[in-house]
Amino acid sequence: MRYNTLLCYTNATSNTGTRAQSTFEMKFLGYAEDGKTCVRGVVSGGDPGYDETAKMVSESAVMLATQCNELKERHGVSGGVLTPAFAFRDHYIHRLCEVGLVVDVS
């Protein structure tokens, strides 16, 4: 599947004291090799530079510390350089949604 980023923007002010007002939204389109099957996705949340990045890194670390063997067995992931989304799959998306990020795929 091929992914194209359609739009990524932030709505942030220059005052670091107003991070709570900052937001981001990323929209994706993915096409299967047949060129006909299309998946649309949107990921959004709060401040992408600090708050949301910290959530993503923390949830990845917790999953590595607590579910490493389970993830290896379930998905056949044995090592190398992997993105969290590939290595952790739906478990990662579920955890990110639990801490406030929004993931919508249609």
pLDDT digit string (tens) for 58-97? Answer: 998 998 888 877 877 777 766 667 777 777 878 888 999 9
**Matching residue, tokens 């406030």:** 100
Burial letters 58-73, b for 16+ CB under 10 A, else e? ebbeebeeeeeeebee
pLDDT reading at 5 higher than 80: no
Q: Could you give the angle at the alpha carbon of 96 between the alpha carbons of 95 and 100, nearest 5°?
A: 120
Global pTM reads 0.66
CA–CA–CA angle 14, 16, 21 (5° rounding): 80
- CA–CA distance, 27 with 44 (Å, rounded to integer): 9
